[in-house]
Each structure stands twice: as structure tokens, then as C-alpha cells.
């Protein structure tokens, strides 16, 4: 698999292949250091040409195929971490729904190197695993008893008959998040917030919407910054050290599975 940086150069690459055909010489792969060996036993100037193609590639196209990382085994591995008892999320959250939602957020897991992409995917699913109890819960436990209405936000006024407690993979909360997510994704977030708990694709879309808007910008600062972006002082600075350690534990576990280092600044 080509890992990155040739997205807008497919036509150029086709020309490169034709050019290489004229330069390749059969040497039984006794190639000079500046030449590469093809599968047909020939040497060519592919190294130099690929460097030219990569130098002209558009930024932000590096990374991996998210679907190749988030395999059925990986996704089911999270589901299998859930404890016994009533887990409505086990039949709600599916890999298919995640991949369908991902079609609307193609920037997810595609920035930086392949390792950067894997760390972003690991971070996302670490938070999802923690917030949903390994895909056990669709809605926040006892969420209906919580007041998540910011009456000062006039752009997204609360519907007095609705509750804006946590729902979905990243437990979307507050009227202003439901309103903005609904406008962006295409559902009535203020008047039908329960959609996040009944439509699995929209549910994953709200998580990816929140992630790309609030979390992706701080990824370069380390995993700890992603915790702060999601829950701020509620968990950081001693707010809930147990929750912080839970998120870090899952992140470390998934980085190990993907074969990448965790990077620095794990805690917030």
C-alpha cells in the first residue's frame, strides 16, 4: 500500500511509469545505490522520480486507510471488552455504521505520517471506549437527570421538552453542541436530540464532527491535550484522575495493537 502523498499525482505517476520504461536496464538487480530493483529484475531511477512526485504532492494526503486499521477484529475487540448485563450499544454500534459515517469526514486519520494516523485512530477509539463502556452504553448513565441546557446560548435555544445529555460514541452533550452538530450533519439536533441514540450512522457522525472540530487541532500536543479538549477541567488538573488514567490505558493499548509509540504528553 502506498502510504501517502501521491493523491493529486496519479496522472503524473502514469507518465513516470512510461518514462521509467525507457530508462530501465536489465542488470539482474545488481543495482547502484541510486537505482531501485523492480519485481522483474531490472534497475531504474524510481527512487529519484518518486522523490520528485512526493515533493509536488499536496500536503495533508499522507496517512493510512482507516478501514484497514479499524478492522472487524479491532472493532469487535472493543465490543468484547464490555462487561455483562444490559448493553444496548452492542447491537447499535457497528463497524459498518462507523465506516458509513467516515465517508463524510475523510480528513479523519489522513494527516501526517502513517504513524500519526494510527495514533489519531487510537486516540479516537480510546475516548470512545471510555465514554461508552466499550460500546455498551448509547446514552449517558442517569443523563436525563442532568441539566445540559445553556440558556445563555441564544443561537441554539433549548427545547423545554427535550434533554441534551450525553449520547453517542463521544457522548454529545449540551444544546449548543446538538444544535451545531445537527446543522452540520443534517438532523434536527435541538428538537430531536434522541436521533443520536437511534440512528447509528448519525451517532458516529456526531462523534467525528466533534472530533474534527475540537480535537484534531490539538493532536500534535499529545494525547493529554485530547482529554482536555473533550472534558477539560471536569477531568484534568485533578478533576477526575481515574477517568484520565482510563483513557490513557485504552490509548496505550490501541497504540500497541497498531504498532506505534504513544508519543509524549499522555496526561492532561
The residue annotated as part of the active site, out of 120, 131, 140, 235, is: 131
According to DSSP, residue 44 is labeled E
pLDDT digits over 63-101, tens only?
689 999 999 999 999 999 887 678 999 999 999 999 999
Give the pLDDT confidence of 21-38 residue by residue, as tens digits. 333 333 344 555 444 544
Average pLDDT, the chain: 83
Active site residue 151: no
Domains and CATH numbers, the chain: 10-55 (no CATH), 66-140+198-258 (1.10.530.10)
Task: Supply the pLDDT for residue 62.
Answer: 58
- In this structure, are residues 205 and 185 in contact, taking their beta carbons and an 8 Å threshold? yes
Rounded CA gap, 209 and 85, in Å? 30
Is pLDDT of 14 > 60? no
Percent of the chain exceeding pLDDT 70 equals 76
> In the block, which residue shows the cell 452492542?
90
Number of neighbouring beta carbons within 10 Å of residue 6: 18
Beta bridge partners of 42: 26
pTM above 0.85, yes or no: no
Amino acid at each position: 500500500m502506498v502510504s501517502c502523498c501521491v493523491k493529486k499525482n496519479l496522472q503524473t505517476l502514469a507518465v513516470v511509469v512510461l518514462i521509467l520504461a525507457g530508462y530501465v536496464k536489465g542488470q539482474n538487480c545488481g543495482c547502484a545505490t541510486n537505482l531501485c530493483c523492480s519485481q522483474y529484475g531490472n534497475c531504474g531511477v524510481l527512487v529519484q522520480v518518486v522523490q520528485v512526485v512526493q515533493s509536488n504532492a499536496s500536503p495533508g494526503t499522507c496517512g493510512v486507510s482507516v478501514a484497514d486499521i479499524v478492522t472487524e477484529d479491532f472493532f469487535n475487540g472493543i465490543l468484547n471488552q464490555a462487561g455483562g448485563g444490559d448493553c444496548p450499544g452492542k447491537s447499535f454500534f457497528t463497524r459498518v455504521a462507523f465506516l458509513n459515517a467516515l465517508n463524510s469526514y475523510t480528513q479523519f486519520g489522513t494527516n501526517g505520517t502513517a504513524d500519526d494516523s494510527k495514533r489519531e485512530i487510537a486516540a479516537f477509539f480510546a475516548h470512545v471506549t471510555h465514554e461508552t463502556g466499550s460500546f455498551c452504553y448509547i446514552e449517558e448513565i442517569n443523563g436525563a437527570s442532568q441539566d445540559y441546557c445553556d440558556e445563555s446560548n441564544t443561537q441554539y435555544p433549548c427545547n423545554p421538552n427535550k434533554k441534551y445529555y450525553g449520547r453517542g460514541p463521544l457522548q454529545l452533550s449540551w444544546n449548543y453542541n446538538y444544535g451545531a452538530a445537527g446543522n452540520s450533519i443534517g438532523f434536527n439536533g435541538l428538537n430531536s436530540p434522541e436521533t443520536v441514540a437511534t440512528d447509528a450512522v448519525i451517532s458516529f457522525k456526531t462523534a467525528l464532527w466533534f472530533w474534527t472540530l475540537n480535537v484534531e487541532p490539538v493532536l500534535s500536543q499529545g494525547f493529554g491535550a485530547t482529554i482536555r479538549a473533550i472534558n477539560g477541567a471536569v477531568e484534568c488538573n485533578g478533576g477526575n484522575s481515574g477517568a484520565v488514567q482510563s483513557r490513557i490505558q485504552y490509548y496505550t493499548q490501541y497504540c500497541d495493537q497498531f504498532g506505534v509509540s504513544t508519543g509524549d504528553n499522555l496526561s492532561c
